[in-house]
Amino acid sequence: MAAELTQLADEIARDREALLAIMAALDVPVQRLKAYAGWLGEKLGRLKLNGRIVGRSPLSTVLELEGLRMAVQGKASGWEALRAHEGHIDREKLDALLAGAHEQLATLARLHAAAVQVLRPVAADG
């Protein structure tokens, strides 16, 4: 799972760069406060009370994958909205970004299903 998540992280970083380029082309300013709020939210999310002092909860991977799926679905919706924009946006680039988002969603769905399967013996024992 680690290799696939590393690849996803790389793809998401490239998608972010593409979004920043599109924003610059449309003269949309980057709102630093929102970026900092997202960073802070991610850090605060690590403080969740999961009943474990040091280790991860068995549900952590499942919940994190669900969060990633929601974020990638939101990104895909954003690419779709930009495709409808009548401006100077490269539609082929947007089509490629949207296809990439769908591939990312398929990967995340598969990883999520595998993570849920790992939990089944834990749930049966509990």
Q: How far apart are CA 41 and CA 39, in angstroms?
A: 5
Mean pLDDT by 10 residues, the chain (126 residues): 94 95 89 78 65 70 92 95 83 95 98 90 55
How high is the pLDDT of residue 49?
A: 58
Question: What's the pLDDT at 88?
Answer: 76
Distance CA 69, CA 24 (A): 26
Residue 26 dihedral angles phi and psi, to the nearest 5°: -95, 5
Distance (Å, rounded) from C-alpha 64 to C-alpha 50? Answer: 13
pLDDT at 96: 96
For position 89, what pLDDT does the model report? 84
Task: Tell me how many helices (H) and strands (E) the chain has.
Answer: 4, 0
Find, among 68, 48, 50, 51, the residue nearest to 110 by Cα: 68
Q: Residue 68 in contact with residue 122, Cβ under 8 Å?
A: no
Q: For 49-57, which contacts have Cβ atoms below 8 Å and span 24 or more sequence positions?
A: none
* pTM for the predicted model, two decimal places: 0.80
Question: What CA–CA distance (Å, rounded) separates 25 from 55?
Answer: 45
